[in-house]
Amino acid sequence: MREIVFDTETTGLDPAVERVIEIGGVELWNHIPTGKNYHAFIRPAGRKVDPAAFDVHGISDDFLADKPLFEEIAEEFLAFFSGAKLIAHNAAFDVQFLNAELARIGQPPIDPGIVVDTLPMARRKFPMAPATLDALCSRFSVDTSRRDKHGALLDSELLAEVYIELIGGRQAALGLVMESGSGGSEEENGQVLRIGPRPAPLPPRLTAAEIAAHRAFVETLGDEAVWWRYLERRAAEDAALVTAD
């Protein structure tokens, strides 16, 4: 399953008149970061950055003066976000702004059915506790040392770690045991893969003849060959398995 954890920065708080000036997105595949990210700064045509917004993200009008307009980055943005579930913190804010930008260039809005909001997830999981991104990073020991102001890509990277914790831990989707939740959405308690022991060891990939040939080769290397350490350790492990059986 492909997911994009994303965030935006804007010139202000009203999507009807304010504009998106930064978009960041982090790709997950089965809840694991792939290393593929999306990031763009955007020049807000005809709009200045509100001082209160500048205090939050530190993105100035001068910095944005030579950046592309939204319509110039729209194709790349849509290509990266297409076909994925979209994850955001207080998602309604970001989606409203993106939908306003999409409407201005004649594109359809984001389907609300593909959007997951981590804010209500956190509030349900930790009732009465602070649910800001900073608070969740602190709860889950997510490193925020690089963050002195808000930034769309950095906040997406932090939220990706928080999201993985919210759905069951950093090892989700790496294991061999499938757990199914008792109800609710997939993000909260649906099917999530977790680390678990194998019910039985995998069969050896080497044949007996190959093992014998390798041992014969090691014997030609002398008593100090490092391979002897491996062979002795392997013999001890095999003996332990026989004893356990």
Own/partner long-range contacts of 140-149 (Cβ < 8 Å, ≥24 apart): 140/165, 149/56, 149/57, 149/58
- Given the DSSP bridges, would you call strands 20-29 and 32-41 parallel, antiparallel or unpaired? antiparallel
Residue with tokens 């009807």: 16
Q: Are residues 149 and 33 in the same domain?
A: yes
Residue 155 shares a structural domain with residue 48: yes
Each residue's pLDDT expressed in tens, for the chain with a length of 245 residues = 999 999 999 999 999 999 999 999 999 999 999 999 999 999 999 899 999 999 999 999 999 999 999 999 999 999 999 999 999 999 999 999 999 999 999 999 999 999 999 999 999 999 999 999 999 999 999 998 887 778 899 999 999 999 999 998 655 444 434 444 444 444 444 444 444 555 666 666 667 787 778 778 878 877 777 767 766 766 665 565 545 54
Strands (E), the chain: 2-10, 20-29, 32-41, 85-88, 115-117, 177-179, 192-194
Is residue 85 domain-resident? yes
pTM confidence score:
0.69
Find all residues with CB under 8 Å of 28, minimum gap 6, and list them. Answer: 2, 3, 4, 5, 34, 87, 160, 164
Comparing CA positions, the residue from 40, 63, 68, 52 lying closest to residue 14 is 52
Write down the pLDDT at residue 205: 65
179 found inside a domain:
no
Tell me the one-letter amino acid at 117.
D
* pLDDT computed for residue 220 by the predictor: 82
Residue 150 annotated among the catalytic residues of the structure: yes
Report d(CA 97, CA 99) in Å as an integer. 5
Q: What was the pLDDT predicted at 183?
A: 45
Beta strands in 50-147 (DSSP E): 85-88, 115-117
Active-site option among 31, 57, 89, 150 = 150
Give residue 6's identity as a one-letter amino acid code: F
Number of domains in the chain: 2
Domain region containing 227 = 208-244
The answer to whether the CB of 96 falls within 8 A of the CB of 18 is no
Instruction: Give the domain-ending residue among 145, 170, 195.
Output: 170
Report the C-alpha gap between 131 and 108 in whole angstroms.
Answer: 31
* CATH number of the domain that residue 141 is part of: 3.30.420.10
